[in-house]
Amino acid sequence: MKVRRSLRALKFKDGAQVVKRGKRVYVLNRKNPRLQARQG
């Protein structure tokens, strides 16, 4: 799966973590919950 630019940008924010659940890729951020995204 190609990773979207929006996910890639969020991945480098402070406190972000990449999580794979099944076929979906999430970028979760506990420090700043607005900076979250899902793909797939």
**pLDDT at position 9:** 95
pTM for this structure? 0.83
- CA–CA separation, 1 and 30 (whole Å): 25
**pLDDT at position 19:** 97
Provide the 3-class DSSP secondary structure of residue 23.
coil
Alpha-carbon 6 to chain mean position: 8
- CA–CA separation, 34 and 2 (whole Å): 23
For the record, the structure tokens of 35 come out as 């900076």
Average pLDDT per consecutive 10 residues, the chain (40 residues; last block may be shorter)? 92 96 96 95
**pLDDT at position 1:** 83
